Amino acid sequence: MRYILVVAAMVCGMGGIGAMGPAALGQGSFTLEFREATPQQVPALQETMRTCSRSAALPAEITQVPQGLPAQVTYFRFGLAEAPICLLAASGDKPRLYADVDRTGDLSKATALAGTSGESGTWFDPITLTGKDGQKVRVRFMSHTSAGTEPLNCLHAVPAGCCVGKVKLGEKTYGVALIDGNLNGRYNDPLAGPYQRQNMDALVIDRNGDGQFDLFNPSQSPPEWSPLAKGVAVDGKHYNVTVAADGSQIEVAAAEPKYGSLDLGPQQVSLVAFSDFGLQKIETKGEKVRVAAGRYATVSGELTANDGKANWRLQFGGDPGRLGTFVVNAGETLPLALGPPLTPTATVSQTERTVLLKYVLEGRSGEVYAAAVTKDNTRLPPPKLEVVDASGKIIYTGAFEFG
């Protein structure tokens, strides 16, 4: 029996890249230029890493393979705009990757992409792919497996670069980068669903002026990386943002957001969510809280309470329920009560003679909490469990485990 603890992720340079492009003279339209870069050079690119599905056998789509392959190879599929391509990864001292770019099934005519291994794994040369709608996208593949005799056991895709330039916001000029996070060849897809950092276009602002575009860091106020949305907030001012589909231009204009209210119930709540104007940290002790109207996508949250004897804390984990994505209308209050009554359940899965029970703790709005309850900064032990038969007789007793 395993006690599965699911914790909400709160994450997860090219020197001088933020300084590239013409100097901006004022608010309006600004030209951006695509520059190839690796995630080591532009850390924000790591926020878009997507996993390719692995195939143990030769996919049916592949009719021919290159000659001279090692004994062990690995096949992958990469879904690009609902038109997946097949890839063949060959390990060894000189790892190679073959991509069925034209979707003909003939990998014997595919150009071998050379791999370079390092401490983080194996990186392959970039390649241009074509989506279902004809859009071109420049992609770089990597595996966490280093060069050697073992087959590559994973493959991931990241953009092979980003569109960079300078934008003037208020009285200050910032280096900016647009990232095609969903790898469909367009840069203007705004955040429209729940927060899933590997599948959304992004606007990155070099707020600290160090010439780099940083990974998402929710402890920064505000962070440099943010999903592309209706607008952005910089130095207490709000701006609407419009992006060209090919990433060649970004337009900014001063904005005045409208406001509504959020009712999260009687509990003391701390909520972190992306809004139409970037990351928002919403805190309340049971009162309605005034927030900018628009769409929100929750990143993390927690409930705290004091019963007169101890301080208690519950953190979001897994599915945020109705808080995954929600809309606050101007002049209206959106009720989204969190917390008690809490409903503990167990999901059951079976593999041959092994049964896995996963503990789930759900709140009033369908939000799932990490099952580890904290009391005075100390994690409490896992809950116990009983298995009973149809007559109610106890046939097994035990406890969940962290895992």
- What does the angle CA 78 – CA 80 – CA 84 come to, to the nearest 5 degrees? 55
Total Cβ atoms within 10 A of residue 27: 15
Stretch(es) of the chain classified as CATH 2.60.40: 257-403
Smallest Cα–Cα separation from 385: which of 375, 376, 374, 394? 394
pTM value?
0.84
Q: What is the largest CA-CA distance in the chain?
A: 78
> Could you give the 3-state DSSP secondary structure of residue 108?
helix
Looking only at the bridges linking them, the beta strands covering 113-118 and 325-328 are unpaired
- Residue 202 has phi, psi (to 5 degrees) of -140, 150
Burial (0-12, 13-18, 19+ Cβ within 10 Å), 42: buried
- Residue 206 Cα to chain centre, angstroms: 20
- Count CA within 13 A, CB hemisphere, residue 339: 21
CA 401/CA 387 separation, integer angstroms:
16
Per-residue pLDDT of the chain (403 residues; tens, 9 = 90+): 333 332 232 223 333 444 333 333 347 899 999 999 999 999 999 999 999 999 878 898 899 999 988 878 899 999 865 678 999 999 888 899 999 998 899 999 999 999 988 877 899 999 999 876 778 899 999 999 876 767 888 999 999 999 999 999 988 999 999 999 999 899 999 988 888 766 889 999 999 999 999 999 988 889 999 999 999 999 989 999 999 999 999 999 999 999 999 999 999 999 999 999 999 999 999 999 999 999 999 999 999 999 889 999 999 987 899 999 999 999 999 999 999 999 988 888 888 778 787 888 899 999 999 888 888 988 888 777 778 888 888 877 877 776 6
C-alpha distances in Å from residue 90, one per residue of 61, 164, 352, 366: 18, 34, 33, 45
CATH code at 257-403: 2.60.40
CA 202/CA 206 separation, integer angstroms:
13
Smallest Cα–Cα separation from 244: which of 203, 288, 289, 293? 203
Query: Strand pairing partners for 231?
Result: 240
